[in-house]
Amino acid sequence: MFHWLEQKPFFFAVVLFLTVAFAGFVTIVPDFAKQSQPTVGTKPYTVLELAGRQVYIKDSCNACHSQLIRPFKSETDRYGMYSLSGEYAYDRPFLWGSKRAGPDLMRVGNYRTTDWHENHMMNPSDVVPGTVMPKYPHQFTNMADLATAYANANTQKELFGVPYDTDGMPKLGSWAEAEAQAKEDAKLIASDMKNQSVKDAVANGQVPEIVALIAYLNSLK
């Protein structure tokens, strides 16, 4: 039987594939249903926060920062309550990271403020001497992509049933409504910032990347 198999490339490939695929089906598939349930109080991201999340991904913040607090005292003392599966129910993609060149950011919104982030992103070593983090001045001049953030949110709503526009959840509405709302949210963030060109841009109805990013970071709690 084995001899026959070794000389028949087609059947050989089939058996090989089954051997390889076996583990994936057994381990991953059955747990899908249970895990995607959100924890009580977890809400989907607003359009501005999603735009900030896209900035986070664009500059690969996740290459150096995790968003996963493990259940050890040394981690909960440092970063807060350990992570629960349901807290990630609206994270597409997940951003757990795999390496902490910098600290965990899962609950950074609890202990850092808008002006702290503003100073830190402009020049990290002003705030944390000895840091190895790059400066991100380009986030103060590049504009956030609200339209894509809206498309992102709308896709999640339409396709994956993420409960936007339901009771107690963020409102999405049409693109025009969402854009106006995001710009209102941006003004709130900008009022805590001191960089004049960012303030001017927001007053003119634009949203620099840094504003969206800070909105996202503040939402991490």
Partner 1 sequence: MDQETLLTIQGYGKFFLILFVFIVFYSYAYSIYKRQKTGERDFEKYSNLVHDDFLDSCPLEKRDNSIEKND
Partner 2 sequence: MQSNAQLEYDYSIVKAFTFATILFGIIGMLVGVILSFQLAFPELNNLAGEYGTFGRLRPLHTNGVAFGFTLSGIFATWYYVGQRTLKMSLNESKFLMTVAKLHFGLYFITILLAVVTFLMGFTTSKEYAELEWPLDLLVVVWWVLWGVAMFGMIGMRRERTIYVAIWYYMSSFLAIAMLYLFNNMEVPTFLWSGDAPSSLMHSVSMYAGSNDASVQWWYGHNAVAFVFTAPIIGMIYYFLPKESGQNIFSYKLSLLSFWGLMFVYLWAGGHHLLYSTVPDWMQTMGSTMSVVLILPSWGSAINMLLTMKGEWQQLQTSPLIKFMILASTFYMLSTIEGPIQAIKSVNAIAHFTDWIPGHVHDGVLGWVGFMTMASLFHMAPRMFKREIYSKSLMETQFWLQTVGIVFYFTSMWIAGITQGMMWRAYDEYGSLLYSFIDTVEVLHPYYTIRAVGGLFYLVGFFIFAYNIYKTATAGRVLDKEPANASPMAS
Site for partner 1 in 9-68 (CB under 8 A): 10, 19, 22, 26, 30, 34
Residue 131 touches which of partner 1, partner 2, none (CB < 5 to 8 A by kind)?
Answer: partner 2
Q: Within 33-52, which residues bind partner 2 (CB under 8 A)?
A: 35-36
Closest approach of partner 1 to the CB of residue 30, in Å: 5
What number of residues does the chain have? 221
Q: Verify binding: residue 169, partner 2, rule CB under 8 A.
A: no
d(C-alpha 209, C-alpha 186), whole Å? 10
Helical packing angle, 114-122 and 209-219, nearest 10°: 130
Closest approach of partner 2 to the CB of residue 88, in Å: 3
d(C-alpha 182, C-alpha 28), whole Å? 37
Closest approach of partner 1 to the CB of residue 1, in Å: 8
d(C-alpha 59, C-alpha 95), whole Å? 13
Contact predicate 219/87, CB 8 Å: no
What are residue 143's DSSP bridge partners? 208
Return all residues near 97 (Cβ < 8 A) that are at least 6 apart: 62, 63, 64, 65, 66, 67, 68
d(C-alpha 176, C-alpha 91), whole Å? 24
Q: Verify binding: residue 74, partner 1, rule CB under 8 A.
A: no
Stretch binding partner 2 (CB under 8 A), from 96-104, 108-116, 163-171, 197-205: 96-104
Q: Verify binding: residue 161, partner 2, rule CB under 8 A.
A: no
Q: How many residues bind partner 1 (CB under 8 A)?
A: 9
State which amino acid sits at residue 194: K
Q: Within 101-140, which residues bind partner 2 (CB under 8 A)?
A: 101-103, 125, 128-138
**C-beta closer to partner 2: residue 15 or 188:** 15
Q: Verify binding: residue 160, partner 1, rule CB under 8 A.
A: no
Stretch binding partner 2 (CB under 8 A), from 17-25, 111-119, 187-195, 197-205: 17-25
- Using CB under 8 A, which of 2, 28, 40, 98 touches partner 1? 2
Cβ neighbours, 10 Å, residue 36: 14
Q: Verify binding: residue 73, partner 1, rule CB under 8 A.
A: no
- The CA R_g of the chain, rounded to the nearest whole Å, is 22
Interacting residue ranges for partner 1, rule: CB under 8 A:
2-3, 8, 10, 19, 22, 26, 30, 34
